[in-house]
Structure 1
């Protein structure tokens, strides 16, 4: 095969002599995407948070988490490429990994970014047809969901991702993009990324509070606790994977969102 070049989401041009055959993924959602693209046999290393598909951690080497990795384990796996994400992994990790091999960094904030990432993986790993099929399925499901949602009223939402301190999803996040898709007005969209909030003194007018299952695993007891701060607001536990995972997970998320709207 001839050499080829591709540019990642940080604008870094990578040159390849051949299609990468040994992949380490440090991004759980993108690990799932790699498997869905038919690349499971090429994955040699994953994080402890790469829980989909369920059996993957039994067969692949776990090299750490998303914020802390075992560099010796990674070196020993002799990877051709390491997949990272600007939000999930630290700049320090990415810079250290570059000393080992090629590091491809994604940055997914919009649905268009997500489609581009799938296409990039298709070109990067020689599975263009599979990537095209996934993008086509997601596009069809998106069109269907937009018809489902078009006459729904816009409702104000606060989406919590963390406790002690309480943190929410703001603008410039994939979560915010999917809230907008659902015609949810994010009351914290005037703040960037994941700001801390003081819910005891909050005067936000909110229709719904969403407590995510990740990264903080909110439970029913947290719903009760939150009720003390906003007794007039409906509070729901939501599946954080559906709102924050990139890649092929978006297809499942669109069905989940339909079910969520029926619960509200």
Structure 2
């Protein structure tokens, strides 16, 4: 790889075989070198390949201002988090999390601490992401002599959720609100406590996250009207619950819930409530 630009002593810009810009990190990588020289690959610790040139420039600007130790730490956090969460994440996570963690450390040293109002919801609906957030906080506290709390773990978890959904923080907050409210509607409608350990719950939770994402980004599915009418007729109680969800979504988010969305919501509600009833019967 050839040096295209020297960001600082530890960060340089290069390009891959297709001419796409890369950000390359390594201690001393940019020290006493010149543009056009070949990169000393023995010093390379991480190569950042972003989704676009705009993101690459954002990352360059960010890394120019942040201590190498913080960047190295966040890179380790992301690699471990991938193993915990086991889902694909947008590469933008390197920008958002490096910036967030660096700021969290600075805030702690200035004795500025924030409570996360969504911590309960994050623990409940994003368990793996929260686990990864707790692991991140443990690593930060160990490496940086800080005492960050679960509130910070929840904030970091939200960045992982953003990276999975490919959206931004305001949308992720709205997604969480929708998921929380839909589960409340189902619980109240059928007077049940939903089993959060069940496979039906996990399936419904996954569906709801992407349903909510379609709501907040105003995206829609094509409708299968024949299937919709069959499901509506076959599961009237569950469909009535879906109508309550539809009313909430349309009144709060001004999103017209399509017949196909109603179909899938009804099917998932049927699964999750049927499993609950079957479990209760087996205990009698």
> If the length of structure 1 is used for normalisation, what is the TM-score?
0.26
Larger Rg: 2
> If the length of structure 2 is used for normalisation, what is the TM-score?
0.25
Give the strand-richer structure, 1 or 2: 1
